[in-house]
A and B are shown apart, each in its own frame.
Chain A
Amino acid sequence: MKNAIETQNLTKVYNNNFTAVNSLDLEIPEKTIFGMLGPNGAGKTTTIKMLTCLIQPTSGHATVGGYDVTKNPDEVRNLLGMVPQQVSLYKDLTVMENSQLCADYYGIPADERDSRIEDLMELVDIKYARDKRVGQLSGGQKQKASLVASLVHGPEILFLDEPTIGLDPTTKRTLWDLIRELNDDGRTIILCSHDMHEVDMLCDNVGIINTGNLVAYDTPQGLKDTLLEENKRELTETLSQIHAENDEERLAELENISLRKMSFLLQEFDESVVSSIEKNEKVKDIEIARNGRVNLKIDAFDDSVVHEVLNDVMSSGGKIKSIFTEEPSLEDVFIKATAEVDEDARA
């Protein structure tokens, strides 16, 4: 499969010596939906600006549809469509006028222009508001109008920056369907979003960017599976070592595991073990199954809870026979991936 976007060592250093993007290597296969994730200030926007030829890279290379962003910016611009987070259409012009303006700026032949716009309006379902001023539209209608204006030149690659932020659930679903439809038509879509559910559901691949670097890249399921395996391995390895060596100090190794649900089976069920866990405020819910398995719901945003719970169990004399954790969410993957680099950066 060919790549719609490729970057090698792509770097952007701003005038104030701030490195926003640091040697980014990224490949986005064509005709896929790629989710670009990352905390605020991680370098996503700068990456997009370089790919859409709004700013020049400091070093490295980037190609869009095979064209170099620095050498052939106009060819790149013709291939790209962008739906920004903030709707950037002229508020005093109607949906139709805004689309016509965009079409003329892209040099669409006059005889094709209006029929193309009408078709897109039909596709996006905004035809009923074609003669309404953009300033009078609702949030969802504005996004649809913005989509029409961004698609008017038939771009192969579409950037969507937080396209559903602030929209009601019904409109959100309509837009999700639309994104899938646009992808089915053969467009590559790059979706920037903080809505993990949206990304999980729509994207073929996800890349997590932090402090200007790509820190994780896989399918959403792949990312979750990797984290699940990692958590399981870490928990069981550490526990078996503790039991084998009777060295409770090793518990400290679990300090960075963050889980939302976990369950364990004690070798001998002991009420005092359970009551010692109950005292921990970060443990939200404790359920004891008939077979003695203790199921816990915990605060996923606190890295120290798993370590604290196991510490409580052991110090009240309990011995864990087996331990389980369920599949993490994409949000867990995000937190884990961005936390690690955060610490590296701090170090």
Chain B
Amino acid sequence: MLELKKFWWMIKKELISLKRHPVRLVSIIAFPIIMILLFGYGMGGEMTDLPILVVSQSHGNLTDLTLDTIKDTETYHVVEIIDDVDDGKQRVESGEVKAAIILPADYDEDSSQQKSVTLYLDSSDQMASQILESSTQSIFYRLSNMVASQTSVSTKNADIEPSVLHSLNNFKDDVSLHINRIYGNIKYIDFLVPAVLGMTIMFSCMMGMGATIAGERETGELARLFMTPTSVSTVIGGKIAAKLLIELFRALILILMAIILFNVSIKGGILQTFIVLVIGALCFVSFGIFFSARTSTQEDYAQIVMPFSMPMMFVSGVFYPIETMPWILQKLAYIFPLTYLNDAMRGVMLKGQSLGDVWFDLVILIGFALLFFIIGVKRFNRDV
């Protein structure tokens, strides 16, 4: 009963502080929104409206159809349609546009001869050039099917001389490929959001614990609590309870923002996602306690935590699947709790798995939480 009262005081203190400092409340709400906006729009969006030129040297139905198709494709922003090939190439080289689609002079002539369309591409912009190449290929693949004529696209890299030229000839649907997406059409943003939620919780838990333990050690409030007949685990437990409450609130905002801003579908349901996030938060709060057990200032704490939190962010599969990383990083990923949180979050949000399906990740996270808490309390220094 007495210990509960002490727990409650830590929560009450946090709530009173928030009530009296609305700015802090705003930052609690703003942080997850900024994170999700930054990663969602900054990294999860698709590339559209890339500036290009079309060099058209012929007139006719096929040309009109081709131009309309190109104009209707979101990837492109057609700056101008011109007829001078050299001018087109020069404008790509000057960087004014990302590419020029050059239709040959015989494009509209009805002949059985193969027609060679050239994509003159600024390959210095790797991301844009990949997207332009694949969408141009797919346009002409579709067109050639429609007109049942032989069209080919060749790509010339503007910056490399002599240009690499490769043609994709004879598009024919000899082989038909059926794609069966077992989890539906998942975009990069869908892949990213669950991990961004996990990562945001990780950062705010770890940084927050620094402020609450190392910061209060520095300013002496912790010493006053430790001078009372109270065990270390009660004091720390109270701190965890208070921090967790704030994180729950933050997690809720994160989930809502993901739904509102990116229309992210949560296949496993909000409640399950929330529970996974809470278990993740518990793990990272304990992680924070482990590190703040002996640090005497907030600055020391930040210095100690950085070398763990930053690699964790990159290695634990937030931005890229773990399997695509070098083997050493893959091995490293499995000792970071964020990896398991990301896995569980994606399982629940993308695959619609239940908590029972991701039990392994959750057990590991709870295990980490207990381990860090016990070591943290054992190592904890009452000294100020």
Contacts and interface: CB of A to CB of B under 8 A. Distances in A.
A89 interface: yes
Interface in A35-82: 49, 52-55, 73-74, 77-78, 80, 82
B22 to A, nearest CB: 12
Nearest to B235: A105
Contacts of A88: 219-221, 223-224
Contact of A102 (B17, B219, B224, B226): B224
Given A54-B223, A149-B224, A104 B6 contact: yes
Interface string B357-384: 0000000000000000000000000111
The residue in A78, A92, A97, A153 that gathers the most chain B C-beta atoms within 10 A of its C-beta is: A92
A52 B227 contact: yes
Nearest to A84: B220
Interface in B1-16: 2, 5-6, 9, 13, 16
The residue in B5, B21, B224 that gathers the most chain A C-beta atoms within 10 A of its C-beta is: B224
A104 B226 contact: no
A217 to B, nearest CB: 26
A54 B382 CA distance: 5
Contacts of B229: 73-74, 77-78, 106-107
B383 A49 contact: yes
Interface residues of A, number: 29
B227 A89 contact: no
B20 A82 contact: no
Contacts of B230: 105
B228 interface: yes
A26 interface: no
A194 B228 CA distance: 27
The residue in A74, A84, A101 that gathers the most chain B C-beta atoms within 10 A of its C-beta is: A101
B112 to A, nearest CB: 83
Report the interface size class on chain B. 20 to 34
B186 to A, nearest CB: 45
Nearest to B221: A88
Interface string B265-288: 000000000000000000000000
A133 B223 contact: no
B117 to A, nearest CB: 68
Contacts of B220: 84, 86-88
B13 A54 contact: no
Given A55-B383, A101-B9, A105-B9, A77 B228 contact: yes
B20 A92 contact: yes
A93 interface: yes
Contacts of B13: 90, 92-93, 101
B17 A92 contact: yes
A77 B17 CA distance: 28
A73 B9 CA distance: 23
Given A49-B383, A92-B21, A93-B16, A104 B219 contact: no
B225 interface: yes
Nearest to A133: B20
Interface in A119-138: 133
Nearest to B18: A92
Interface string B226-251: 11111000000000000000000000
Given A92-B16, A101-B13, A105-B230, A54 B383 contact: yes
B384 A54 contact: yes
Nearest to B10: A101
Contact of A106 (B16, B221, B228, B382): B228
A106 B21 CA distance: 28
A86 B221 CA distance: 10
Given A54-B383, A92-B20, A105-B9, 6 more contacts: A54-B227, A84-B224, A97-B16, A102-B224, A104-B2, A133-B20
17 contacts: A53-B382, A54-B382, A54-B383, A74-B229, A78-B229, A80-B227, A84-B220, A86-B220, A90-B221, A92-B13, A92-B16, A93-B17, A101-B9, A105-B6, A105-B9, A105-B230, A153-B228
Interface of A: 49, 52-55, 73-74, 77-78, 80, 82, 84, 86-90, 92-93, 97, 101-102, 104-107, 133, 149, 153
